[in-house]
Amino acid sequence: MSKNVRWNPGKDPIPIINDAAQRGVGLAAEHVLGEARKQVPHEEGTLERSGRAANELNGNVARAAVGFDTEYAIDQHESMHYRHNKGRKAKYLEDPLNSSKGTIREIVAAAIRKQL
C-alpha cells in the first residue's frame, strides 16, 4: 500500500514551526510559574510576586526560564527544614516543573499544531 503526499512549499515551514515552538515554550513556562506560585513559601508575598517566566528563540532552539528573584529564594527552595504554611513548601519550583512534564509537552505540541 502506498500513499502519495503532495508538498507545495509556498512558505518555508521552519520559521513557522520555530515561532510556534517559542510561543508554546513561553506558555509552558507561564504554566510552570503558575503552579510554582501555588507552592512558594508565603509570608508577605514578596517571594511569590518575584516569580518570572521568560522565553527566547535562539536559532532553532526555543528556551524558557522560570525563577524567583529575592535574596532568599534559593535558600527557601533548597532548605528542607523550614516550616511553611499549609500547601507551601521547599522545592516550590522543582516539583511543579517535574510534575508538569506531560502538560508542558502538550502545551508546546498544541501551539505547533495550531500553526500547521
How many distinct structural domains can be found in the chain? 1
pLDDT, tens digit, for every residue of 64-116?
A: 999 999 999 999 999 999 999 999 999 999 999 999 999 999 999 999 999 88
Q: Is the pTM of this model over 0.75?
A: yes
- Phi, psi at residue 82, to the nearest 5°? -75, 150
Sorted by sequence, the CB contacts under 8 Å of residue 88 that are 6+ apart come out as 39, 40, 41, 42
For residue 22, the Cα-to-chain-centroid distance in whole angstroms is: 11
For residue 106 the three cell numbers come to 502538550
CB 53 within 8 A of CB 26: yes
β-strand partners of 54: 65
Q: Which domain holds residue 29?
A: 13-115
Would residue 19 count as lying in a domain? yes
- With residues binned 3-state (H G I as helix, E B as strand, rest as coil), the percentages for the chain, rounded to 5, are 50, 10, 40
Would residue 40 count as lying in a domain? yes
Would residue 64 count as lying in a domain? yes
